């Protein structure tokens, strides 16, 4: 390891001490690392804090991939006690890097075993959501075009230039959608993408651009009437409408195999300081209170079966009955090479 | 040769020049004198073609210049702050006009050797022989102005214009360079317009002086004509000619001032206020045989200044006269003066 | 040996060797702690010479390097094609709305990429204002404009346009400054000496402007070279610059060794550009006269056409996209599907009102006033920090010796360092400390510092030593000398520098370095949070927040324009 000259170390140390001195101090502090999309109701956090005499500090650390890499780099001196937000596409990397301590939460009793991907309980499922194609209902009505019912349909001429997707190298829904095609077509998925490319599929870097700049039914009013987003997005469109809506301007295509189910996990970071509190926080995330708070904050589904869904979800969001069949072990083994291969095709 | 005919120009909506007409003859140096902001430089810019008159015409040998862009006029222009090209050395600055002349007459490029010869002639003319490869930014103010002069002269312009060329230089340099410019103008016989607000420069260099005031030329004459008869209080004050005093017409042919009553017919009614020019007479006239406006005044000496070959006496009421010998402060002296009516 | 500058002595020099070193201490300490140290940490862990032996790595490196140079060259050319005439326009002519237009050209530089993309979309997009206008014209007046009127530029063209949009203000600033410092007598002299317009430009103006043209070109090229957000947002997967490739390799397809290799290459190029830049910029200050020539209204027909056509172009290119944000933030587009047949447009203040409501009682709700205050607070600290660090360095640089000439290019280096790698380096270097809110202004200061020093340095260099000596021989103490001589001359340059730091901070440059805490949200964070979920209200609120940010930035830039110190060479 490298060493700085002592001359630089002293002032640096002094400065760092200054920084620490200025950081707020509570009774005990539990630090939770999350991705930037994490959200929670204030009262719910306060309930946990008062119950456990603890201050919870959330560290938003970029998108899921960025967060995970930061956590891996800081493995020996973790930035937080708990990390939430690694999904099943990244899970393998987190487990390989061995950043989590195992914890078999009693709260898992309410969670279906299909969500528990890590049998040694290092990463526990918290929520799930389906990545599907969303479409502009008005466009298809007005133009008398049938909504595509399969992946193959998307390559047909009537859907030329109508779809925008995210780059799997830079976006998690983008990756999820690519994995769904991989699950459906097997090794032939690259040929399929070639046909999509020939049919004018638009690739952008991230969900924000795809949804707000390219998708026609969003407020950004872009050119494409189909976008890779979440099955819960139509519900969000209603919930966050500027004017009260009775019906969403968007809907999801939930045909068998066309959606990828993303599961997000929480884990206790190795070498953390507050093991007890961290366990309590994991229990809390699986509790009914947190699980019922989650949908309207992050537009995801609770894994806890006893949690009630809000009305806007039951009315406007769809769940894929048959999500893409692909194991996380398969993803773990091939994820990077698939992305590279995809990139070659789409260049 | 050059003629300005009823030129009118306004600046930012305000009239600057209301009616300017004058001529410059072959080989003549005229001096345009006026307070700062009177529009002297604008006249030069219009002659150069860098600015345009609102009305009126500028003619060269009876041809209207209106359609001729500045680069085809063949004039030379020297600025107060030199306007040398900072990216070129002395040689290239002086050669600039010659090279451009080459570009103008497409077909025959001015020969390199010719340019070199001409530049060296010019350097010699302005006493800068050997300065060829010096950077202009490293030169002193006087040297820079010589380069500027050489640069303007090199292409043998049909007319030279100077815009307060010595304004930025100190006194002794000023005198030297002024004499040099005078010599060069006489030698080359290039007609020139010299703009200044300094009367000494004007009297030194001009064949003819034009005084610019409130948008028009209010006086046009040779230095001696103007010295003898400035005609207006403004010209007298601007050129530092004699003393200007206040008076009042008390009866026909009599004007009362604080220095006494003078017998003058100024064509004014009784009771009108008037300004008089009081000039010291060179020779004391014989008693009793006074000409028009000749008079003697008593002056209490308030201050005496030594001025090289004579003494400058400042008297009561701010009157200034010169004497060969110094009186004492407080003395009352008698001075022979010539008094004239001013408009 | 004492490091205190000796105040006694008959000919007290302001910059003795000792105090010169002392002047560098704060800046260098800061750069070592928060730039070189984290950078060193991450590179020490990840940089590995064996990376060079992997053919695939080399192929990726070569491809991204080639594309980076290719797009940066084209972007720079395009930026100059617009920027040079614009620089001429602003430095030579007076026209109505000039100050505002000039300020507007500088606003994009400070805006988050997502917002800029949204602005362009609302203008040029499929349902943008241009599309609506053309379809309105063709249906109402049977105007022969088909909907093909709306262009569909390729992503690559969009990247070039976006770079031009961002960087034109650099050309306007640097070259425009030089043009307005050109002595108008030079052009007059040249014309009278027989040079036509072509030769006036070829033989006089362009040679004199050469250093500033080069400096502007280098800086624009450097920004295009390290471009990240624009490429990622507009280019999708097809185009990857070094910086984008670093991001992908470091975070998405983990190959930290390759990321390190790429970031070292990027740093080397940045250093080369910085060295070239600091060489040319020094010529800029010596070549031209330190005086401004007055601007004037257009006179001849050609001039009028030039001013009119160019300002129209600039308004279209800069004003319309920017004004479309506030318009969009006040427009309601959607209606209930049950009642509508066509898209309804209407005026609404809902988005602004909604900013103040925490509908879900979310912990991550960002009260707009709080976000604005946080942004302003961080910006304030950034200003103080960057001035405190920038002043001593600028003092030293004002009279550069060998030491300064050597150190100068390194000050620019943070502009070219990969934000992704820096973020990882921060974690290695500071661990849990990086969650401290103090790291936000520190990161902003890293980016603002080069700008601040560059703004202060020419002003400091312009203070004649004679004035100082005169003041001190009159018995003024060093503090008094500073107060009476330096400060009045510097106050405007200081303000200009401060405002630059301020806007850099408002725009969250380098924010990708950071781990954020919900207690300290800023306006750009609020914007990205709104844009992270679907729904008209979210989009409207993002536009409203972006409008607030834009207004703050525009006001700051108008302030710079008003108080611009005559000699300030502003980068």
Helices within chain B (DSSP H only):
40-48, 90-104, 112-125, 141-153, 171-188, 199-205, 223-228, 233-239
Query: Is the per-residue pLDDT at C178 higher than 60?
Result: yes
What is the pLDDT at residue C348?
77
As a residue count, chain B comes to 343
Q: Could you tell me if C183 lies within 8 Å of chain B, comparing CB atoms?
A: yes
Cβ proximity of C347 and C330 under 8 Å: yes
Tally of CB atoms within 10 A around A37: 20
What contacts 24+ positions apart, CB below 8 Å, involve B225-229?
B227/B203, B229/B340
Tally of CB atoms within 10 A around B310: 14
CATH numbers and ranges of domains, chain C: 21-46+55-293+300-563 (1.10.3720.10)
Asked if the domains at A21-128+263-309 and A129-260+318-346 fall in one CATH topology, the answer is: yes
Of A203, A222, A299, the CB nearest to C125: A222
CB-based contact B87 C288, cutoff 8 Å: no
The packing angle between helices C487-506 and C536-563, to 10°, is 170
Note the pLDDT tens digit of each residue in A301-327: 999 999 999 988 888 888 888 898 888
Indicate if the alpha-carbon torsion angle C468, C474, C478, C481 is positive or negative: negative
For residue C562, give the H/E element and its range. helix C536-563
CB-based contact C534 A74, cutoff 8 Å: no
Cβ proximity of C34 and C41 under 8 Å: no
Judging contacts by C-beta atoms under 8 Å, the chain C residues touching residue A12 are 32-33, 37
Most confident region among A188-197, A198-207, C428-437, C516-525 by mean pLDDT: A188-197
Q: Could you tell me if A206 lies within 8 Å of chain C, comparing CB atoms?
A: yes
Band of the pLDDT at B236, cuts 50, 70, 90?
confident
Query: Is the per-residue pLDDT at B257 higher than 50?
Result: yes
Cβ proximity of B65 and B53 under 8 Å: no
Cβ proximity of A26 and A55 under 8 Å: yes
CA distance B121 to B98: 13
Checking phi first, is residue B287 left (phi over 0); if not, alpha (psi -120 to 50) or beta? beta
CB-based contact C185 B103, cutoff 8 Å: no
User: Could you tell me which residues come within 8 angstroms of residue C141 by beta carbon, excluding any fewer than 6 positions away?
Assistant: none
Average pLDDT, chain C: 78
Cβ proximity of A62 and A170 under 8 Å: no
Note the pLDDT tens digit of each residue in B178-196: 888 888 888 888 999 999 8
User: Could you tell me which residues come within 8 angstroms of residue A95 by beta carbon, excluding any fewer than 6 positions away?
Assistant: A118, A122, A123
Q: Could you tell me if C94 lies within 8 Å of chain B, comparing CB atoms?
A: no
CA distance B49 to A11: 66
The packing angle between helices A275-286 and A288-298, to 10°, is 70
CB-based contact C362 A42, cutoff 8 Å: yes
Largest CA distance in chain B: 78
How many contacts, defined by CB atoms under 8 Å, are there between B and C? 81
What is the pLDDT at residue A176?
94
Band of the pLDDT at B24, cuts 50, 70, 90?
very high
Query: Is the per-residue pLDDT at B317 higher than 80?
Result: no
Of C44, C517, C538, the CB nearest to A58: C517
Query: Is the per-residue pLDDT at C127 higher than 70?
Result: no
Query: Is the per-residue pLDDT at C93 higher than 50?
Result: yes
Query: Is the per-residue pLDDT at B338 higher than 60?
Result: yes
Would you kindly state where each structural domain of chain A is located, as residue ranges? 21-128+263-309, 129-260+318-346
Cα angle, residue C566 at apex, residues C564 and C571 outer, rounded to 5°: 70
Q: A100-101 and A260-269: which strand pairing? A: antiparallel
DSSP A206: S
Cα angle, residue C331 at apex, residues C329 and C336 outer, rounded to 5°: 125
Q: Outline which parts of chain B fall under CATH 3.40.50.300.
A: 2-233
Nearest to C71 by CA among C186, C235, C233: C235
Of A8, A297, A340, the CB nearest to C32: A8
Q: Could you tell me if C288 lies within 8 Å of chain B, comparing CB atoms?
A: yes
What is the pLDDT at residue C466?
63
Q: Could you tell me if C182 lies within 8 Å of chain B, comparing CB atoms?
A: no
What is the pLDDT at residue B193?
94
| Residue C64, burial from CB neighbour count under 10 angstroms (0-12, 13-18, 19+) | buried
CA distance A111 to A121: 13
What is the pLDDT at residue A127?
94
Q: Could you tell me if C327 lies within 8 Å of chain A, comparing CB atoms?
A: no
Write out residues 139-168 of A within 8 Å (CB-CB) of C.
167
Q: Which two tokens stand for residue C260?
A: 């390190």
Place of tokens 């490293």: B138
What is the pLDDT at residue B43?
92
Q: B2-233 has which fold? A: Rossmann fold (3.40.50)
Nearest to A295 by CA among A284, A280, A283, A311: A311
Query: Is the per-residue pLDDT at C363 higher than 80?
Result: no
Q: A21-128+263-309 has which fold? A: D-Maltodextrin-Binding Protein; domain 2 (3.40.190)
CB-based contact A240 C431, cutoff 8 Å: no
Of C127, C251, C338, the CB nearest to A66: C251
CB-based contact C194 B50, cutoff 8 Å: no
Place of tokens 């206040």: B246
Query: Is the per-residue pLDDT at C5 higher than 70?
Result: no
Write out residues 224-253 of C within 8 Å (CB-CB) of A.
232-233, 235-238, 247-248, 250-253
Average pLDDT, chain B: 85
CB-based contact C194 B72, cutoff 8 Å: yes
User: Could you tell me which residues come within 8 angstroms of residue A336 by beta carbon, excluding any fewer than 6 positions away?
Assistant: C253, C254
CB-based contact C204 B79, cutoff 8 Å: no
Note the pLDDT tens digit of each residue in C237-296: 567 888 888 888 888 777 888 889 999 999 999 899 888 888 777 665 544 444 556 677
Most confident region among B115-129, C71-85, C243-257 by mean pLDDT: C71-85
What is the pLDDT at residue B274?
84
CA distance B56 to B52: 10
Spans of chain A below 70 pLDDT: 1-27
How distant is the alpha carbon of residue C483 from its chain centre? Answer: 31
Indicate if the alpha-carbon torsion angle A221, A222, A227, A228 is positive or negative: negative
Chains that touch B (3 or more CB pairs under 8 A): C
Note the pLDDT tens digit of each residue in C6-32: 333 333 444 566 677 788 888 999 999
Find the distance separating the first CA and the last CA of chain A, reported in whole Å: 39
User: Could you tell me which residues come within 8 angstroms of residue C310 by beta carbon, excluding any fewer than 6 positions away?
Assistant: C85, C86, C89
pLDDT mean over C36-52: 86
Query: Is the per-residue pLDDT at C471 higher than 70?
Result: no
User: Could you tell me which residues come within 8 angstroms of residue A229 by beta carbon, excluding any fewer than 6 positions away?
Assistant: A131, A132, A133, A134, A173, A207, A210, A211, A215, A252, C534
What is the pLDDT at residue A154?
94
Cβ proximity of B7 and B56 under 8 Å: yes
Q: Could you tell me if A65 lies within 8 Å of chain C, comparing CB atoms?
A: yes
CA distance C433 to C424: 13
Q: Which CATH number fits domain A129-260+318-346: 3.30.470.10, 3.40.50.300, 3.40.190.10, 3.40.640.10?
A: 3.40.190.10
What is the pLDDT at residue C525?
81
What is the pLDDT at residue A1?
37
Nearest to C381 by CA among C457, C448, C429: C448
Chains that touch C (3 or more CB pairs under 8 A): A, B
CB-based contact C194 B85, cutoff 8 Å: no
pTM recorded for the entire structure: 0.78
What is the pLDDT at residue C149?
40
Cβ proximity of B136 and B86 under 8 Å: yes
Judging contacts by C-beta atoms under 8 Å, the chain A residues touching residue C431 are 74, 77, 79
pLDDT mean over C91-100: 83
| Greater pLDDT, C110 or B155 | B155
Give the gap in angstroms from C-alpha C445 to the nearest C-alpha of chain A.
15
Query: Is the per-residue pLDDT at B27 higher than 70?
Result: yes
Q: Could you tell me if A21 lies within 8 Å of chain C, comparing CB atoms?
A: no
What is the pLDDT at residue B173?
83
Of C335, C515, C535, the CB nearest to A236: C535
Cβ proximity of A256 and A322 under 8 Å: yes
Give me the percent of chain B exceeding a pLDDT of 70: 94
CB-based contact A58 C540, cutoff 8 Å: no
């Amino acid at each position: 390891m490298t060493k700085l000259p002592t001359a630089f170390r002293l002032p640096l140390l002094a400065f760092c001490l200054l920084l620490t001195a200025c950081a707020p101090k509570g009774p005990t502090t539990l630090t939770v690392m999350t991705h930037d999309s994490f959200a929670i109701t204030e009262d719910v956090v306060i309930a946990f804090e008062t119950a456990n005499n603890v201050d919870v500090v959330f560290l938003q650390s970029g998108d899921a991939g960025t967060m995970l890499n930061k956590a891996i780099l800081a493995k020996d001196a973790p930035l937080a006690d708990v990390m939430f937000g690694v999904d099943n596409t990244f899970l393998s990397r987190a487990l390989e890097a061995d950043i989590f301590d195992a914890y078999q939460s009693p709260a898992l009793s309410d969670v279906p075993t299909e969500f528990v991907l890590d049998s040694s309980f290092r990463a526990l499922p918290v929520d799930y959501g389906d990545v599907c194609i969303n479409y502009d209902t008005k466009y298809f009505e007005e133009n008398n075009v049938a909504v595509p019912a399969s992946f193959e349909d998307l390559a047909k001429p009537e859907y030329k230039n109508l779809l925008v997707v995210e780059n799997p190298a830079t976006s998690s829904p983008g990756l999820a959608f690519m994995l769904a095609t991989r699950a459906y077509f097997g090794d032939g998925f690259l040929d399929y993408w070639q046909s999509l490319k020939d049919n004018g599929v638009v690739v952008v870097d991230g969900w924000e651009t795809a949804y707000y700049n390219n998708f026609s039914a969003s407020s950004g009013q872009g050119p494409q009437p189909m976008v890779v987003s979440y099955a819960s997005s139509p519900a969000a469109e209603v919930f966050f409408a500027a004017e009260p809506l009775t019906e969403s301007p968007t809907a999801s295509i939930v045909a068998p195999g066309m959606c990828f189910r993303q599961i997000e996990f929480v884990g206790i970071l190795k070498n953390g300081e507050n093991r007890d509190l961290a366990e309590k926080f994991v229990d809390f995330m699986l509790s009914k209170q947190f699980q019922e708070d989650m949908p309207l904050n992050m537009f995801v589904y609770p894994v806890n079966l006893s949690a009630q869904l809000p009305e806007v979800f039951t009315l406007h969001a769809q769940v894929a009955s048959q999500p893409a069949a692909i194991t996380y072990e398969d993803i773990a083994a091939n994820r990077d090479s698939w992305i590279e291969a995809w990139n070659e095709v789409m260049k | 040769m050059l003629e300005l005919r009823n030129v009118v120009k306004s600046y930012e909506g305000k009239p600057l020049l209301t009616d300017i007409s004058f001529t410059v003859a072959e080989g003549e140096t005229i001096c345009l004198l006026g307070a700062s902001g009177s529009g002297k430089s604008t006249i030069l810019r219009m002659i150069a073609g860098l600015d345009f008159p609102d009305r009126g015409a500028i003619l060269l040998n009876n041809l209207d210049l209106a359609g001729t862009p500045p680069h085809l006029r063949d004039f030379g222009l020297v600025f107060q702050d030199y306007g040398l090209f900072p990216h070129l050395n002395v040689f290239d600055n002086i050669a600039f006009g010659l090279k451009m002349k080459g570009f103008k007459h497409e077909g025959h490029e001015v020969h390199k050797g010719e340019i070199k010869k001409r530049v060296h002639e010019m350097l010699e003319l302005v006493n800068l022989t050997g300065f060829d490869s010096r950077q202009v930014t490293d030169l002193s103010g006087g040297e820079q102005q010589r380069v500027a002069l050489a640069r303007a002269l090199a292409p043998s312009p049909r007319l030279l214009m100077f815009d307060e060329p010595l304004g930025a230089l100190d006194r002794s340099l000023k005198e030297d360079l002024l004499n040099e410019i005078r010599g060069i103008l006489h030698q080359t016989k290039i007609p020139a317009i010299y703009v200044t607000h300094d009367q000494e420069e004007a009297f030194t260099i001009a064949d003819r002086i034009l005084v610019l005031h409130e948008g028009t030329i209010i006086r046009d004459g040779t230095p001696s004509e103007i010295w003898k008869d400035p005609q207006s209080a403004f010209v007298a004050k601007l050129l530092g000619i004699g003393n200007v005093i206040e008076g009042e017409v008390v009866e026909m042919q009599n004007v009362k001032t604080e220095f006494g009553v003078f017998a003058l017919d100024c064509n004014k009614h009784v009771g009108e206020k008037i300004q008089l020019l009081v000039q010291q007479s060179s020779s004391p006239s014989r008693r009793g045989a006074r000409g028009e406006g000749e008079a003697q005044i008593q002056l209490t000496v308030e201050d005496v200044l030594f001025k090289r070959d004579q003494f400058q006496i400042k008297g009561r009421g701010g009157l200034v006269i010169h004497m060969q010998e110094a009186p004492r402060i407080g003395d009352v002296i008698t001075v022979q003066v010539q008094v004239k009516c001013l408009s | 040996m004492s490091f205190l500058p000796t105040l006694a002595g008959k000919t007290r020099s302001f910059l003795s060797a000792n105090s010169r070193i002392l002047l560098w201490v704060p800046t260098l300490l800061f750069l070592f702690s928060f730039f070189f140290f984290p950078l060193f940490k991450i590179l020490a862990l990840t940089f590995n010479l064996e990376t060079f032996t992997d053919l695939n790595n080399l192929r990726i490196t070569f491809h991204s390097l080639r594309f980076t140079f290719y797009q940066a060259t084209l972007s720079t050319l395009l930026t100059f094609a617009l920027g040079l005439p614009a620089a001429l326009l602003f430095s030579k002519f007076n026209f109505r709305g000039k100050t505002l237009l000039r300020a507007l050209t500088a606003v994009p530089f400070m805006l988050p990429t997502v917002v800029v993309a949204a602005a362009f979309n609302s203008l040029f997009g499929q349902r943008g204002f241009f599309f609506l206008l053309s379809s309105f014209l063709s249906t109402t007046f049977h105007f022969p404009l088909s909907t093909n009127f709306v262009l569909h530029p390729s992503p690559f063209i969009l990247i070039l346009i976006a770079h031009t949009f961002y960087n034109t203000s650099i050309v306007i600033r640097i070259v425009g400054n030089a043009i307005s410092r050109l002595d108008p007598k030079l052009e007059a002299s040249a014309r009278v000496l027989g040079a036509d317009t072509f030769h006036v430009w070829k033989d006089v103006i362009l040679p004199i402007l050469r250093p500033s043209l080069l400096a502007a070109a280098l800086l624009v090229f450097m920004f295009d070279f390290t471009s990240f957000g624009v490429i990622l947002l507009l280019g999708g997967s097809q185009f990857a610059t070094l910086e984008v490739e670093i991001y992908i390799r470091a975070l998405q397809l983990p190959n930290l060794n390759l990321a390190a290799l790429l970031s070292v290459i990027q740093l080397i190029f940045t250093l080369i550009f910085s060295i070239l830049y600091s060489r040319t910029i020094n010529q800029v200050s010596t070549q031209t006269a330190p005086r401004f020539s007055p601007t004037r209204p257009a006179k001849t027909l050609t001039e009028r056409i030039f001013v009119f056509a160019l300002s129209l172009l600039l308004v279209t290119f800069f004003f319309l996209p920017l004004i479309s944000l506030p318009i969009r933030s006040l427009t309601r587009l959607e209606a209930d599907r049950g009642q509508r047949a066509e898209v309804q447009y209407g005026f609404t203040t809902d988005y602004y009102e909604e900013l103040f409501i925490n509908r879900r009682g979310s912990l991550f709700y960002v009260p707009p006033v709080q976000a604005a205050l946080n942004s302003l607070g961080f910006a304030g600290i950034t200003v103080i920090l960057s001035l405190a660090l920038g002043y001593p360095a600028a003092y030293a640089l004002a009279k550069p010796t060998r030491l300064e000439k050597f150190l100068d290019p390194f000050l620019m280096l943070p502009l070219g360092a990969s934000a992704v790698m820096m973020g990882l380096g921060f974690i290695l270097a500071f661990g849990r400390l990086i969650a401290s809110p103090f790291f936000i202004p520190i990161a902003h200061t890293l980016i603002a510092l080069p700008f601040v020093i560059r703004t202060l340095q020419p002003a400091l260099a312009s203070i004649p030593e004679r004035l100082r000596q005169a003041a001190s021989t009159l018995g003024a103490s060093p503090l008094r000398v500073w107060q009476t001589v330096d400060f009045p001359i510097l106050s405007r340059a200081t303000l200009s520098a401060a405002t630059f730091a301020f806007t850099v901070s408002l725009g969250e440059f380098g924010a990708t370095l950071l781990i954020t805490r919900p207690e300290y949200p800023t306006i750009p964070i609020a914007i990205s949070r709104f844009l992270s979920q679907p729904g008209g209200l979210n989009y409207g609120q993002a536009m409203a927040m972006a409008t607030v940010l834009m207004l703050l930035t525009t006001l700051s830039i108008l302030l710079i324009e008003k108080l611009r110190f005559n000699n300030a060479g502003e980068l």
